[in-house]
Structure 1
Amino acid sequence: MTVQNGRIGLWHEHNMVEFMQGAKVVAFDLDNTLARSKKPMHEDMSRLFASLTRLIDVAVITGGRFELVESQVLDVLGECADMSRIHIMPTSGTRYYRWNEGAFRCVYKVDLTQAQRSAAMSSFERHARELGMWEEKVWGERIEDRGSQITFSALGQNAPVEAKERWDPDNSKKNRLASAVAADLPDLVVRSGGSTSVDVSVKGVDKAYAVRKLCAELAIDVSQVVFIGDRMDPDGNDYAAAIIGTRPVRVAGPDDTLKVCARIIEALERP
């Protein structure tokens, strides 16, 4: 167990050979884990990700849309990747895609009603303005309707990574906004998302839900899932998946993930 007093172990604290024994799936967060926010995976990451798919099932569980997983991960994978072993769970697990007949197809989706989506969008705008978070300059959509999730991005969906990282380094802004919006939407779940985002989705559907659904699909136990993410503090959107009995590995960014992947591949290839 790598969760002690609410703390998730850092990647370099694990003996990866022992850690990977009996593992069936390696699951990743996306932004600031596999790649920097909204950016494609680096070539080295793409190569190691593809190598992993030839050794073990691999999942991507992210708050972003499926189209972002396509542009950041799938579009930069080489032909050597085994697509049949890739599981895509976007919008915090409210949707699930598997490779079937030459394309990734939706297995399930848990959408918000139109009334719920409208209420969430209205609440985001009102509270963001009240809290001084309705920024004058934004890049792209500020409030995005993803069907199964409403996402507020303080600087817009396409903001530069450097601007996103400067906006709320201690997560205090996002947490204040999430608390205010949650009070308006008691029947939904509101959580801090990426570096500048807050997400609203159906209650009970989060990254922990995604992990459990994935385990049911593959007929494996939660304890056989290695989950790698950067937001494993109690307010982070990776925390729910980290504390349900998975094998969590906390990273600080894609450079750490690259090292973790290399060690995992080495462990899996040992005779």
Structure 2
Amino acid sequence: KVKKVSVISGGSFAQFQRQFVPKLTEGNLPNLFLFPTCGSAFYRHNGARWENVYTEVLSPEEKARIFGAFEAMFREVGFKKPETLYGVLIEDRETQITFAAHGSSAPLPIKSAWDPDRKKRLKMIGVLARLIPEFEIRTGGTSSIDVTRKGIDKAYGIYQMEKHLGVPRTAMAFVGDDVGEGGNDHPVIATGISVVAVTGPEQTKQIIKDMLG
């Protein structure tokens, strides 16, 4: 039986193209679906190339408010921009604005060491929630904060999968490593989907292999 696989992440489609798509050397790509920036965009393969189905692009005014809120929050919490920055500190991903403490391309050990218990980011999110309450604000990855339009998170992505792929949530399984309270995978629990919590890539790979048979 053919099974459909969706990948949803806080990363941008450009990141998917750099980090994920080049590794797909075989398989039926039309049965793989990409939901970057927490489901605020959707791409499917038509047999020849990836095509965009929808994109919830933030307006210039929305982006300006978010960028301004980050700068105000930095001053309030006393965040000092690192001397060495790997990539962009606050990245415009069109549908999502993402802050990464050491830059969007920081090595994993540096990202993982900055805020392992989320306390720094939760304090930042508390300030941002007061400054821009009209947006969805959550932790992402190991050192980042993602901002999208209100209501757009990974749960939104699950509902879009159900709508566009014709697969009921009762027939889906979500595999994620951050499903606990405050995690960027946590919103999917409210959809009622079956959730499989994992702790790393090797375990994830094995579970997906088992699911696909």
TM-score by length of 1: 0.75
1:60 — aligned with what? 7
2:107 to 134, 148, 160: 160
- Selected match of 2:200 from 244, 253, 256: 253
* Alignment deviations for residues 117-161 of structure 1 (CA, whole Å, 9 cap, x no partner): 011111112212432333323211000111111111111011110
Rounded Cα–Cα distance in structure 2 between residues aligned with 1:176 and 1:120: 17
Give 1:188's aligned amino acid: F
Give the drift of 1:94: 0.6
Of 187, 201, 217, 2:134 maps to 187
SS at match of 2:196: strand
The answer to whether residue 15 in structure 2 is matched with residue 75 in structure 1 is no
Cα drift, residue 55 of structure 1: 4.0
Aligned residues: 212
Q: Secondary structure at the match of 2:73?
A: helix
Q: Distance in 1 between matches of 2:182 and 2:95?
A: 21
Q: Residue 119 of structure 1: which of 65, 68, 72 is its match?
A: 65
- Could you tell me how far 1:253 is from its partner in structure 2? 1.1
Write the letter of the residue equivalent to 2:59: T
* Post-superposition offset of 1:202: 0.7
Where in structure 2 are there 5+ consecutive unaligned residues? none
Aligned AA (1:110): E
Q: State the SS of the aligned residue for 1:243.
A: helix
Unaligned runs of 5+ in 1: 1-53
1:95 matches 2:41 = yes
2:55 corresponds in structure 1 to 109
Q: Percent of aligned positions with the same letter in both sequences?
A: 32
Which amino acid letter does the alignment assign opposite residue 48 of structure 2?
Answer: G
Measure the CA separation in 2 of the matches of 1:138 and 1:175.
22
Q: How does 1:1-271 map to 2 (within 5 A)?
A: 55-78=2-25, 80-100=26-46, 102-136=48-82, 137-265=84-212, 268=213
Output the CA distance in 2 between the equivalents of 1:202 and 1:249: 27
CA contact (8 A) 1:125 1:134 kept: no
- For residues 56 and 5 of structure 2, the distance between their equivalents in structure 1, rounded to whole angstroms, comes to 22
SS of match in other structure, 1:135: coil
Aligned residues of 2:29 and 2:47 also touching (Cα < 8 A): no
